[in-house]
Structure 1
Amino acid sequence: MKKETEVREVIEKIDVLSEIYSDLGARSYSTKEQRDMAKLKMELIKKEMLLLTYMVNSKVDSFVP
């Protein structure tokens, strides 16, 4: 049961990060510096989502005997 809870929490984190990623992409930026900063943030969020997805897959694989 503990692993299932951990998986749900990680999936919720992925959902939140996905929303933040979308918001950053949808905004309009007035300066090149702001655009570049948003791109960097989006890159970091994307990498974190990939790592969290890997964690979820690893935990789900451990459910199967």
Structure 2
Amino acid sequence: MWWCWPATMLSAAFASRLDGLMGRMDLWIHGHVHEPVDRSVKGTRVIANPEGYPDEFEALSFIPDLVVDV
């Protein structure tokens, strides 16, 4: 989620700028975030659907139909 964080030395510890890879695939699914993401970057759909804990914000925004079983 590099678009949410300012460019600081600490940002690299938890956010990576991988937009150079975007446009080569249709879908990019990622995790370990605290807010839902559904956006397009260079034609690639980028999504995250954090469930979180029942008493946290993530549980309110979780979309049960947007789950991928691996």
TM-score by length of 1: 0.23
Report 1 or 2 for greater relative contact order, CA contacts < 8 Å, sequence distance ≥ 6. Answer: 1
After TM superposition, the score normalised by the length of structure 2 is 0.22
